[in-house]
Structure 1
Amino acid sequence: MKKSIVWPWIAGLSVAVSLTGCQEQAQPPKDELIQTPVARNRYVSFPALGTATPLQVAGRLSLPTNAEGKTPAVVIAHGSSGVDSRGSFHARALNEAGIATLEIDMWSARGLSGGAEGRPQAVSETLPDAWGALKYLSAQPTIDASRIGIMGFSWGGVMAMLAATRKYAAQSEPGQRFVAYAPFYPVCWAYNRVPGYEFGALTGAPVFIQAGEADQYDDPDSCQKLVDSLSPEDRSLVSLTVYPGATHAWDRLEPAAQVEDPYSHTGQGGTVDLVPSPDAAEKSRRAAVDFFRKAFGMTP
């Protein structure tokens, strides 16, 4: 049975990408080391980079137990880590592959709770969290600062898309860049159509988009049309996998749900199904690991 979730959306395109997060607020981070078979997990905090008002962002840093020397890392833009399965689901696979992860909580720092009414007005407002995470990881003695990537889901996927452009990458600390971007279901119809969501003039690092054919924010070919519309130089940097029958948030493995969103269906509005797909979830998790391992120059 699907759970119906009716969210009174806030105005602006941020509504269209304020998706799939539960409306719980993460607990403040603790300086606590938790050992698992694949990772050493520590709750940390770091300042966002470039916000008008100082913000301290919470996160969960997971260092793989099998790592030798300095470790590559991936920032996971997830909202409140631990609220649903996606962050830990992907982090574990990356950790098993010898890649550190930093799941960031963009809501608590702003006194927000997540969900449609508890998020910023625009995705660009949370990009300082990504730049702060990049700076934090770059300073860690166990992390290889030249091999840091970013992935994200929905809102976080849009963050990864925007971060891959030179326009927004210029906001990061001088000399620091993400070297790979892996957005999941990043609402492809909106780019280069809605002001503030331009996608082009890329940094030169690879971008791997994963989307669902049955994602009701987009048409089945919205992401392919976006890729096809790019300049030849940018197009050469972007790869795309579309999972047949997969809805938005196919890797959210909690029970199926529905959301009402006036910006769904390429901006026409209506109901959006969020249906877990264990098969697509596992394929997309493995594909993300393979993408980052290749981008980081790790042995197959």
Structure 2
Amino acid sequence: MRMRTSYVAYEAAPGLTVAGALSTPTEGPPAPAVLICHGSDGVDGRGAFHAAALHEAGIATLEIDMWAARGTNRGAAGRPRSPLETLADAFGALKFLRAQPEIDPARIGIMGFSWGGVVTLLSAVKANAEPYLDGQPGFSAHAAFYPVCWAYDAVPGLGLTGLTGAPILIQTGEADAYDPPGAAQALFERLQVRGEAPVRGVAYPEATHGFDRDLPAQTINDPFAHAGKGGPVLMAFHPQAAQAARKEAVTFFLEALA
């Protein structure tokens, strides 16, 4: 589908203006849309990789830059203290998207990578969402990529109970150094047992954190790595996992936003 890209800005909170790239169909009825939230390293190509496939499927996108809005540096040292601080960015984007004539306001999802993946999951919690919604519905679907699976229900503020009921997709790499072995599967199973929302989890063998980041391999240091002990994390592109995850995300959103 042919898309038009516009560079936009909206007020996420008093004194906080967030900018982003909005891609909408050039013709046809109002389309579903997906908000894309970057990881700690900022906007780095992962959003564009997935947006291209979403556009082919007829889904509009808005990729935002949370760090530029705050004047912070890319990386673990410069980001806010908690993803909870950037929920305003996500829900401000939801309000902005609902006001666009090219977008169907009832069919808006969210996806994100690492930090953005945490935001994606936290936005599925009623207690997190309701203060921003003014009685309107929240996101219709949530797709999180390697969202630091060990942290939920372990770190204060990062609980995943009382969900909105919107479907959730979580995709991770089995070689992700943020998580101990089995952490992703344990999160999948815990959410499925609670039954508060449809949840699908996919873990890719040999894939690291940031497996869909088509850039030279990089080792970062993050205090949240290794189940909160801190330390190095390898981020290496895994072409097979990246393609599979992109296809999985498109299928998920086509079904959830139908």
**Partner residue, 1:281:** 242
**Partner residue, 2:136:** 175
Please tell me whether the aligned partners of residues 152 and 160 of structure 1 are also in contact (alpha carbons under 8 angstroms): yes
Distance apart, 1:269 and its partner CA? 2.6
**Partner residue, 1:46:** 10
Radius of gyration: which is bigger?
1
Which of 67, 82, 85 aligns to 2:45? It is 85
Cα distance change, pair 242–42 in 1 and its aligned pair in 2 (3 A): same
Return 152-161 or 262-271, whichever deviates more.
Answer: 262-271
Q: Please state if 1:55 is matched with 2:55.
A: no
Q: Please state if 1:76 is matched with 2:36.
A: yes
Q: In the aligned structure 2, how far is the partner of 1:117 from the partner of 1:261?
A: 8
Letter in 1 for 2:76: A
**Partner residue, 2:170:** 209
Aligned ranges for residues 81-230 of structure 1 at < 5 Å?
83-173=43-133, 174-230=135-191
Please tell me whether the aligned partners of residues 40 and 114 of structure 2 are also in contact (alpha carbons under 8 angstroms): no
Q: In the aligned structure 1, how far is the partner of 2:43 from the partner of 2:96?
A: 23
Q: In the aligned structure 2, how far is the partner of 1:83 from the partner of 1:233?
A: 34
Give the number of the structure with larger relative contact order, counting CA–CA contacts within 8 Å between residues 6 or more apart. Answer: 1
What is the percentage of aligned positions where both structures have the same residue? 53
Secondary structure at 1:127 match in 2:
helix
Please tell me whether the aligned partners of residues 80 and 106 of structure 1 are also in contact (alpha carbons under 8 angstroms): no
Please tell me whether the aligned partners of residues 150 and 178 of structure 1 are also in contact (alpha carbons under 8 angstroms): yes
Please tell me whether the aligned partners of residues 38 and 92 of structure 1 are also in contact (alpha carbons under 8 angstroms): no
Letter in 2 for 1:258: T
Q: Deviations over 1:113-161 (max 9, x none)?
A: 2212221111011000101100000011111000000000000000001
Q: In the aligned structure 1, how far is the partner of 2:43 from the partner of 2:138?
A: 28
Please tell me whether the aligned partners of residues 47 and 54 of structure 1 are also in contact (alpha carbons under 8 angstroms): yes
Q: In the aligned structure 1, how far is the partner of 2:231 from the partner of 2:145?
A: 21
Cα distance change, pair 232–176 in 1 and its aligned pair in 2 (3 A): same
Letter in 2 for 1:44: V
Q: Deviations over 1:46-92 (max 9, x none)?
A: 010xx4x4211001001134x52010000001169984210110111
Gaps of 5+ in 2: none
Q: Deviations over 1:235-272 (max 9, x none)?
A: 65211000011000000110001012343111223221
Structure 1 segments of 4+ aligned residues over 4 angstroms from their partners? 79-83
Secondary structure at 2:47 match in 1:
helix
RMSD: 1.8
Gaps of 5+ in 1: 1-36
